[in-house]
C-alpha cells in the first residue's frame, strides 16, 4: 500500500509542477533558438536550433562515453541527448525552473487533441523502457535525483534502467509527460506543432468609442485593480483618471488643471523629447513608489547630469560628433527618476496627488544625438524587474554602430533591479549609471562581453512594448524602422534583433561607419514576427513609424481575443496579428478596418469618405479589465463591442449576456487553475494517507 501511495503522490506532484507555462520556442538558457545554415554534425537539427557546433560536439562526446552496445537503444539515447538542440528544449528540460537530465518523454496520457505533429503521439516513454531497460548505459542520464523515490532503488553504480527503476510505470511516472495546448513533450524527433485547424480570418473591424479629448503618450492601469488609470503627456504631467464602464455613455473623468504630479520643471519637451514613459511599482498600493522616464537638458536644469553614452568604452569621442540641430553631444540626457505617493501618510491607493520631488535617481545617460532614444519603462509581470527600452541614440543609420556594440547601452532593452539598491561605493565600483542593481540571471552571466544591464540588443528605436497578460513569456516590442520596414519583435533573453546589420528582414547598408561595422556572420539575428513595408502605406500620409500595442485579452470584443494589435503613427492604420500554430511564435497579420461607435460618448472626427480620423497614433493602453485603448492626437479611444459599429461577430452575443463574460471557451490558464486546485486537494489527501501509513 505504501508503495502505491508513494507513486501516486509523486505523480500528483509532478502534474502540479507541469503548470500552464507556454510552449514558446526557447532554449534551456531561456534564449531564443537561432538559425543554422547547415545541419549539425551529430544531432539531426538544422534551421532553427538551440545548439551550435561546439555544443553538438559535446553531446556527441557524452553519447560516445555512454558506451551503449545495443543499436536500438543507442538510437533512442542519441535522440534524447540531442533534444537539447530542439527549439523547445527550454520547456522539455525544465519544470518550474528546475533542470532535468532527460526531456519530458511523451507517454500514454497524451490526449487525442495533442498539439504535436501526430494525431496520436505514440507512447515514447514506454518505447524507451522496452528498448533500453536491460542495456548498460554508462553515466546514465536516467539516474537523476529521483533515485530512491517512486520505487526506484538507490544503486549508485547501476547502469541499466531495470536496476534503477522497479517497473516501466515507475520510470514513466518520473520521466513521462503529456502534450496539450500549453505544453510539449519529446517523442523521439524534433518537436513540431500542428496548425490549429481553426479559421484565422481577421475580424470584420475594430469598433472604437471616443471617451476623451486629451493627447497623451502613456497610459498605465492603476496597480490597485480599480477602474482608474494614469495618463501622462509629453510635457511631463501625469493625470489620474477614472474610466467609464464600456457602453455606459460616460467619458474619461480627468482634470487637466489638477495633475497627479507635474514634472515639467525637470522634463525637456520638444518634438523628439519629453516624458517618454512611466511605471508604477507592482506594490504601489502599499509602498507608493512610481517612476518616470524623460529627457532633460543639462543647459537648463542642474539635475540633468550623467555620463555621456559616447565615450572611450564604446570607441566614441564626443568631441568629434559635432552639433545636432544646434545641440552639443550629450546636452540631452535620458533620465529615470523615482517618486513617492506615500508622503501624505494616506494609503497610496487613495492618494490623488504626489510631490515632484525625486526620491532616487535610478538612471541617467547622455544622448549623442537628438533622436531615436525610446524611453519606455515597465515592470515585468513575473520577475518584478524594471525594463527600459532604449533606442540607438540618433544619427542616420546608427553611424557608431551602438546597437550592436555590447559595451553600449544604446539600441538595447535593459533589465534593472530597483528593489535592491547598492551602496554608492558599489555603484562606482561597478560603473553603474544610477541607483539599481543587476539581476543575477541577466544575459551577461552567460555572455561576458555584454554590459550587465542588457537584456536584449540590436534594436533601432523600440516604441511601445508589452507583455501578454495571459502569457507573460510573450514580450512583444515594436521597433521603428529607417527606410524600408517597421517591425514587431518577440523579445527573449540575450536576443539580438539585427539592427543595423538588418532593418527588419532586409540587409542594411549604412552610408557611414565611423564606429565600425558588424559582420553578418558574427551574429545570430532574431527576425521580426510581424511588420510591414513602408511601401504598403499611402506615402502622402507621411513616412511610416510603428506604434506597438497589446495582445487583446478583454472579452469586450471576443472576435479580437488573443490577437496582437498595433498601428502606425502617421497613417492611421491598425493591424491585428494571429499566432498559428498556438505557442509557435509564428504570426499572420491583417490590416483591420476601424470605425467609431454610433453611440460614442464624444463624437469622432471624420476623414474624407466619412472614415474615422484618429490623427497620429501615439500609443496604446490597457486597463485592469484588459480593455485596449488608443492614445491619439485627436483623443482617447477604447475598443468596444463590434455590434456598436455594426461589425459582425458571431461570438459576441454569447459573451455579452453575462457580467463575468468569459472567453468563448475556458482559457488554458482557467482550465489549469481548476485542475491544479483539484490535484492539490488530491495530493493533500494522498500525503495524509502516506504519512499515516508510515
**pLDDT tens, residue by residue, 626-654:** 999 999 999 999 999 999 999 999 889 75
Residues 301 and 367 in one domain: yes
Question: Total domain count for the chain?
Answer: 2
Has residue 656 been placed in a domain? no
Are 178 and 218 in a shared domain? Answer: no
Q: Quick one: pLDDT band at residue 347, thresholds 50, 70, 90?
A: confident
Locate 582 and state its grid cell.
498556438
| Residue 658 in domain | no
In a domain, 520, yes or no: yes
Return the half-sphere exposure (C-beta side, CA atoms, 13 A cut-off) of residue 244: 21
SS3 of residue 208 by DSSP? strand
Of 605, 625, 643, the residue that ends a domain is 643
If you average pLDDT over each of 98-107, 348-357, 461-470, which comes out highest?
Answer: 461-470
User: Rounded to the nearest 10 degrees, what angle do helices 71-82 and 124-132 cross at?
Assistant: 140
3-state secondary structure 562-629: CCEEEEECCCCCEEEEEECCCCCCCEEEEECCEEECCCCCECCCEECCCEECCCCEEEEEECCCCCEE
- Lowest-pLDDT range of 86-90, 92-96, 237-241: 92-96
Q: d(Cα 568, Cα 543) in Å, to the nearest integer? A: 10
DSSP, residue by residue, 298-319? TTT-TT----BSSSGGGT--GG
Residue 279 and residue 291 in contact, taking contact as beta carbons nearer than 8 Å: yes
Same-domain pairing of 126 and 274: no
Query: How many CB atoms neighbour CB 643 within 10 A?
Result: 16
Locate cell 492626437: which residue?
Answer: 633
- pLDDT per residue over 359-377, tens digit each? 999 999 999 999 999 999 9
- Provide the pLDDT for residue 210: 98
Q: Are 136 and 217 members of one domain?
A: no
**Arithmetic mean of pLDDT, 553-563:** 96
Please check the confidence at residue 4 and state whether its pLDDT lies above 70. Answer: no
- Domain contains 681: no
Provide the mean pLDDT of the chain.
86
**Is residue 69 assigned to a domain?**
yes
Regarding whether 162 and 209 lie in a shared domain, the answer is no
pLDDT at 112 over 90: no
Grid cell in block for residue 41: 554534425
2-17 and 168-175 helices cross at what angle (nearest 10)?
20
d(CA 58, CA 611): 61
> How long a stretch of residues is the chain?
694
Look at the block and give the residue holding cell 542519441.
Answer: 78
> Picking from 33-47, 391-405, 446-460, 650-664, which range would have the lowest pLDDT averaged per residue?
650-664
- In this structure, the answer to whether residues 378 and 463 fall within a common structural domain is yes
Q: Which of 605, 622, 643 represents a domain boundary (last residue)? A: 643
Is residue 648 in a domain?
no
Least confident of 446-455, 505-514, 530-539: 530-539
Residue 615 has pLDDT above 90, yes or no: yes
Does position 689 have pLDDT exceeding 80, yes or no? no
Whether the per-residue pLDDT at 259 is higher than 90: the answer is yes
Q: First-to-last CA distance in the chain? A: 10
Whether residues 457 and 592 fall in one domain: yes
Tell which wins on pLDDT, 239 or 650: 239
Distance CA 103, CA 116 (A): 15
Strand pairing report for 594-596 and 332-340: unpaired
Burial class (CB in 10 A: 0-12, 13-18, 19+), 197: exposed
* Degrees, nearest 5: CA angle 444-449-454: 45
Beta-strand relationship, 546-551 and 530-533: unpaired
Same domain assignment for residues 437 and 491: yes
Domain boundary at 622, 643, 664, which?
A: 643
294: exposed, middle or buried (Cβ count in 10 Å: 0-12, 13-18, 19+): buried
What confidence tier does 324 reach under pLDDT thresholds 50, 70, 90? very high
The pTM score is: 0.85
CATH number at residue 483: 2.120.10.30
pLDDT at 147 over 80: no
Same domain for 178 and 214? no
3 inside domain: no
- For CA atoms 387, 389, 393, 399, the dihedral sign is positive
User: Are 575 and 518 members of one domain?
Assistant: yes
Lowest-confidence region among 78-82, 203-207, 675-679: 675-679
Average pLDDT of the residues in 177-183: 67
Regarding predicted confidence, which is higher, 23 or 506? 506
Mark whether 313 and 363 lie in a shared domain.
yes
Q: For residues 556, 203, 562 and 119, what is the CA-based torsion angle, rounded to 10 degrees? A: 130
pLDDT band, residue 159 (cuts 50/70/90): confident
Is the pLDDT assigned to residue 15 strictly greater than 70?
no
Looking at residue 152, its pLDDT comes to: 47
pLDDT classification of 326: cutoffs 50, 70, 90: very high
Q: Which domain holds residue 35?
A: 24-108+119-148+157-185
pLDDT (average), residues 662-691: 39
Same domain for 615 and 545:
yes
Beta-ladder partners of 690? none
Distance CA 265, CA 10 (A): 61
d(CA 104, CA 505): 34
Domain assignment present for 194: no
Q: How far is CA 305 from CA 292, 364, 438, 467, in A?
A: 16, 7, 22, 32
Note the pLDDT of residue 47: 85
Amino acid at each position: 500500500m505504501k508503495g502505491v501511495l508513494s507513486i501516486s503522490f509523486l505523480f500528483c506532484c509532478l502534474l502540479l509542477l507541469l503548470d500552464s507555462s507556454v510552449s514558446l520556442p526557447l532554449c534551456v538558457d531561456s534564449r531564443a533558438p537561432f538559425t543554422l545554415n547547415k545541419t549539425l554534425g551529430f544531432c539531426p537539427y538544422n534551421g532553427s536550433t538551440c545548439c551550435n557546433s561546439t555544443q553538438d560536439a559535446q553531446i556527441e562526446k557524452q553519447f560516445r562515453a555512454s558506451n551503449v552496445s545495443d543499436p536500438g537503444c543507442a538510437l533512442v539515447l542519441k535522440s534524447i541527448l540531442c533534444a537539447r538542440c530542439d527549439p523547445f528544449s527550454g520547456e522539455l528540460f525544465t519544470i518550474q525552473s528546475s533542470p532535468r537530465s532527460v526531456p519530458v518523454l511523451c507517454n500514454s496520457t497524451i490526449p487525442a487533441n495533442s498539439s504535436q505533429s501526430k494525431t496520436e503521439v505514440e507512447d515514447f516513454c514506454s518505447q524507451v523502457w522496452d528498448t533500453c531497460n536491460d542495456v548498460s548505459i554508462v553515466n546514465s542520464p536516467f539516474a537523476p535525483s529521483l533515485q530512491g523515490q517512486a520505487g526506484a532503488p538507490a544503486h549508485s553504480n547501476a547502469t541499466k534502467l531495470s536496476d534503477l527503476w522497479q517497473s516501466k510505470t515507475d520510470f514513466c511516472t518520473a520521466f513521462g509527460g503529456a502534450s496539450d495546448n500549453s505544453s510539449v513533450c519529446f517523442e523521439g524527433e524534433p518537436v513540431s506543432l500542428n496548425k490549429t485547424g481553426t479559421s484565422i480570418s481577421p475580424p470584420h473591424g475594430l469598433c472604437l468609442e471616443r471617451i476623451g479629448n486629451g493627447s497623451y503618450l502613456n497610459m498605465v492601469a492603476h496597480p490597485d485593480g480599480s477602474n482608474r488609470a494614469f495618463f501622462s503627456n509629453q510635457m511631463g504631467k501625469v493625470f489620474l483618471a477614472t474610466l467609464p464602464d464600456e457602453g455606459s455613455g460616460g467619458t474619461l473623468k480627468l482634470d487637466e488643471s489638477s495633475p497627479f504630479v507635474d514634472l515639467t520643471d525637470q522634463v525637456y519637451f520638444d518634438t523628439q523629447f519629453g516624458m517618454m514613459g512611466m511605471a508604477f511599482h507592482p506594490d504601489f498600493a502599499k509602498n507608493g513608489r512610481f517612476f518616470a522616464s524623460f529627457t532633460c537638458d543639462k543647459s537648463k536644469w542642474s539635475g540633468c547630469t550623467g555620463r555621456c553614452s559616447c565615450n572611450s568604452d564604446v570607441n566614441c569621442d564626443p568631441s568629434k560628433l559635432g552639433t545636432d540641430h544646434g545641440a552639443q553631444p550629450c546636452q540631452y540626457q535620458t533620465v529615470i527618476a523615482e517618486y513617492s505617493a506615500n508622503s501624505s501618510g494616506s494609503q497610496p491607493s487613495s492618494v490623488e496627488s504626489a510631490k515632484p520631488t525625486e526620491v532616487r535617481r535610478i538612471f541617467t545617460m547622455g544622448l549623442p544625438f537628438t533622436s531615436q532614444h525610446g524611453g519606455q519603462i515597465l515592470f515585468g509581470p513575473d520577475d518584478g524587474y524594471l525594463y527600459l527600452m532604449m533606442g540607438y541614440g540618433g544619427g542616420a543609420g546608427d553611424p557608431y554602430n551602438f546597437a550592436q556594440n555590447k559595451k553600449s547601452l544604446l539600441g538595447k532593452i535593459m533589465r534593472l533591479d530597483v528593489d535592491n539598491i547598492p551602496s554608492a561605493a558599489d555603484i562606482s565600483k561597478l560603473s553603474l549609471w544610477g541607483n539599481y542593481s543587476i539581476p543575477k540571471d541577466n544575459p551577461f552571466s552567460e555572455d561576458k562581453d555584454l554590459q550587465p544591464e542588457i537584456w536584449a540588443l540590436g534594436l533601432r528605436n523600440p516604441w511601445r512594448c508589452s507583455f501578454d497578460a495571459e502569457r507573460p513569456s510573450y514580450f512583444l516590442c515594436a521597433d521603428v524602422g529607417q527606410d524600408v520596414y517597421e517591425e514587431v519583435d518577440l523579445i527573449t533573453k540575450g536576443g539580438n534583433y539585427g539592427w543595423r546589420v538588418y532593418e527588419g528582414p532586409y540587409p542594411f547598408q549604412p552610408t557611414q561607419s565611423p564606429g565600425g561595422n558588424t559582420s553578418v556572420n558574427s551574429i545570430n539575428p532574431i527576425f521580426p514576427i510581424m511588420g510591414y513595408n513602408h511601401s504598403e502605406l499611402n506615402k502622402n500620409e507621411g513616412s511610416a513609424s510603428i506604434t506597438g500595442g497589446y495582445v487583446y485579452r478583454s472579452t469586450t470584443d471576443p472576435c479580437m481575443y488573443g490577437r496582437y494589435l498595433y498601428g502606425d503613427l502617421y497613417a492611421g492604420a491598425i493591424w491585428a496579428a494571429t499566432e498559428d500554430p498556438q505557442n509557435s511564435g509564428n504570426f499572420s497579420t491583417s490590416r483591420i478596418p476601424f470605425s467609431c461607435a454610433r453611440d460614442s460618448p464624444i463624437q469622432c472626427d471624420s476623414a474624407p469618405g466619412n472614415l474615422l480620423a484618429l490623427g497620429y497614433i501615439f500609443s496604446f493602453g490597457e486597463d485592469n479589465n484588459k480593455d485596449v485603448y488608443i492614445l491619439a492626437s485627436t483623443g482617447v479611444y477604447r475598443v468596444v463591442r463590434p455590434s456598436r459599429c455594426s461589425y459582425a461577430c458571431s461570438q459576441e452575443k454569447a459573451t455579452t449576456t453575462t457580467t463575468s463574460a468569459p472567453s468563448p471557451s475556458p482559457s488554458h490558464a482557467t482550465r489549469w487553475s481548476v485542475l491544479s486546485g483539484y490535484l492539490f486537494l488530491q495530493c493533500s489527501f494522498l500525503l495524509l494517507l502516506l504519512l499515516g501509513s508510515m
